[in-house]
Amino acid sequence: MFKKIAVCAALVSIGLGQTMAQTAAPAAPPPAWKQGMPADMANSTLAPLAGKLTVTPAADIPLNKLKLPPGFKIEIWSTGTPGVRAMSRGEGGKIYAGTRGLGRVYEISDNGQERTSRVLVDKLNQPAVTMHKGNLYVMAIDKVLRYDGIEANPNAQPVDMTAAFKLPPLQHHNWKYLSFGPDGKLYVPFGAPCNICEPGAEYAQIRRYNADGSGMEVIATGVRNTVGFDWHPVTKEMWFSDHGRDWMGDDTPDDELNRMSKTGLNFGFPYCHASGVADRDIKKDKPCDGVTLPVTNMGPHAAVMGVTFYTGNMFPAEYKNALFVARKGSWNRTKKLGFDVVAVTTDAEGKNVKTAPFLTGFKDDADNSFWGRPTYMLQMPDGSMLVSDEQLGAIYRISYAK
């Protein structure tokens, strides 16, 4: 009897095991960057471009390939800061810069002859930085830190301000760009947590805060992923870049350059893209009604990054109040686009837009390759301009002489 029971139990166990083995485990969800990929592109080889997150010596940077308009000069200003992105300069001349992939914040010092750098803080979740009244603000996806008087006191300990800012947690497109506006408030984007979706109340927007994290206001919605903005030197209006969605083809939708004439505007995401392109997947009746369309389109999948109005006196007069826009470069496109800095000029009313190449040579059209990815600009007190190259961890200096 006992033998029969044991045999039956063994058979049941074997049967259950076979049934469980035959039941396929649920498939892992596709990576976030594939969301929105149509079935007819399932075999596409397009994928985000890997960053080079190691030090590139100056001797290995092909500076001679870079081209500028006549009279301009470019030189390597600093190296040794892998993944360097947006830069902010302190009153004492030190420059601070965040990264995305490495989670570092760099401090770069200049003694007039050479630049040296140190890692101020590490292992943060995609931090960005800005200086304000002698204090360094660092914002990651899940943390906000303030380093008071950091230039004079290199050992300053951070004040943790995270609780005051009530940061939403989702990571995709939630990496930051920080800047204090003419009103003394801190402006921060919170990108869409997806390639294309209805993002919910906490995302696809630009906010501003008081410096202590209080007084939060949502000042723009329908913003898929801006990581660069600046204020017009005359009108004080915010202008910002915005990335278009992926997987609608090589040539649509364009990235955007937007102008915020007042707060509370809707810039279209997820229903309306670029200059009136209805979304293929997230549908809405009259999707572009009530949407503020771009000042100009910046090219499909160009990955527009930093935007900087030029207010210095070194460059020729036609560049006064021009907007420089860094285009880090496309991945969701068969033929690469961007990998450059362009100059955007308008009339006094922000119309009659003209976009012209400024810094080129980071990509080779002949073989569809690239070696550098410009991301942000920083105007220096003498009127020269720094440009960060996230791919090589270098910063270039652009100057002009007749």
Between vectors from CA 146 to CA 142 and to CA 152, what angle results, nearest 5°? 145
Q: Which of 226, 227, 229, 233 is nearest to 322 (CA)?
A: 233
* 65: its two tokens: 């390939």
**pLDDT at res. 23:** 56
pLDDT of the residue at 25:
61
What pLDDT, on the 0 to 100 scale, is given for residue 351? 83
CA distances from 340 to 226, 265, 307 (A): 18, 29, 12
CA dist 326 and 375 (Å) reads: 5
Residue 228 is predicted with a pLDDT of: 98
Q: What pLDDT score was predicted for residue 16?
A: 44
Residues 212-231 as b or e (16 or more Cβ within 10 Å = b): ebeebeebbbbbbbbbbbbb
The whole-number pLDDT of residue 30 equals 82
Which token pair is 290? 């009530």
Residue 135: name the closest of 168, 90, 180 by CA.
90
Q: Which residue has the tokens 């914002």?
A: 139
What is the reported pLDDT for 21? 46
Which residue ranges in the chain fall short of pLDDT 50?
1-16, 19-21
